[in-house]
């Protein structure tokens, strides 16, 4: 079986990244800088000859548009593409939309750090019917939209999807690109690199920087690198 690659890309800068607000499942678009980051990721894919055959992304505009900018820049916009909510960002519950610094001022640095960086402690649940409740959003019809998620909760939905839908494509010898989010990608990196529960919470995944996992015989080789370093 031929060697292939899994390419992970966190979406480019979003408007709420710029405004330092908790975003989660709320659908926020890219900034001009985010668009440029996504385009640069695609140009890098082309320059390094790291060309994907199949694409996966979330239901969220910032990840979808990052994928499209990158694929357009790499002249691969035509490849098959699957969108799935299970690749969405972690749901930040009642913190959604709040300014991160104001939240620290109100609840204290330690509490906000626990909500953001603990493995299995979710933030406060979102109230049903509140401004950022997506239960009635048509893209989530028939889906039990969470009201808050820890990183552990995010892994519980991301990993089975990866194993059922993405792994078989890699095993068939195709190179796959996944355009997703900081925490849904943390879930994949934790699994593929065997990172502990404690250590994964401190792993930063930069926006618009392709991460490559080489696969041999349908299995990850154990290596992980930034394409910009190749």
- Residue 11 designated active-site: yes
Q: Alpha helices of the chain — where are they, by DSSP H?
A: 15-18, 32-47, 61-73, 100-107, 109-117, 151-161, 167-171, 182-193, 197-200
Strands 176-180 and 4-10: parallel
Helix (H) or strand (E) holding 6, with range, is strand 4-10
Q: Which of 89, 91, 149, 181 is catalytic?
A: 89
Question: What 3-state DSSP class applies to 62?
Answer: helix
Instruction: Tell me how far apart the alpha carbons of residues 147 and 108 are, in angstroms, rounded to a whole number.
Output: 22
- Residue 191 designated active-site: no
Residue 185: exposure state from Cβ atoms within 10 A (0-12, 13-18, ≥19): buried
Catalytic machinery residues: 11, 89
């Amino acid at each position: 079986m031929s060697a292939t690659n899994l390419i992970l890309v966190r979406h480019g800068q979003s408007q709420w990244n710029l405004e330092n607000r908790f975003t989660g499942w709320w659908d926020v678009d890219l900034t001009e800088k985010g668009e440029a980051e996504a385009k640069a990721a695609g140009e890098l894919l082309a320059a390094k000859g790291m060309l994907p055959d199949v694409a996966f992304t979330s239901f969220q505009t910032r990840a979808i548009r990052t994928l499209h900018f990158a694929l357009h820049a790499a002249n691969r916009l035509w490849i098959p593409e699957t969108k799935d909510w299970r690749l969405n960002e972690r749901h930040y519950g009642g913190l959604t939309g709040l300014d991160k610094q104001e939240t620290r001022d109100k609840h204290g640095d330690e509490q906000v750090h626990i909500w953001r960086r603990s493995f299995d402690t979710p933030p406060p649940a979102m109230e049903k019917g509140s401004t950022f409740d997506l239960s009635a959003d048509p893209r989530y019809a028939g889906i039990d939209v969470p009201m808050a998620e820890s990183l552990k909760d995010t892994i519980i939905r991301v990993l089975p999807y990866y194993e059922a839908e993405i792994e078989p494509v890699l095993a068939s010898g195709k190179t796959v690109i996944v355009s997703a989010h900081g925490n849904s990608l943390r879930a994949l990196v934790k699994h593929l690199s065997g990172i502990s529960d404690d250590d994964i919470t401190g792993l930063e995944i930069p926006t618009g920087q392709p991460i490559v996992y080489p696969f041999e015989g349908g299995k990850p080789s154990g290596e992980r690198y930034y394409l910009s370093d190749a």
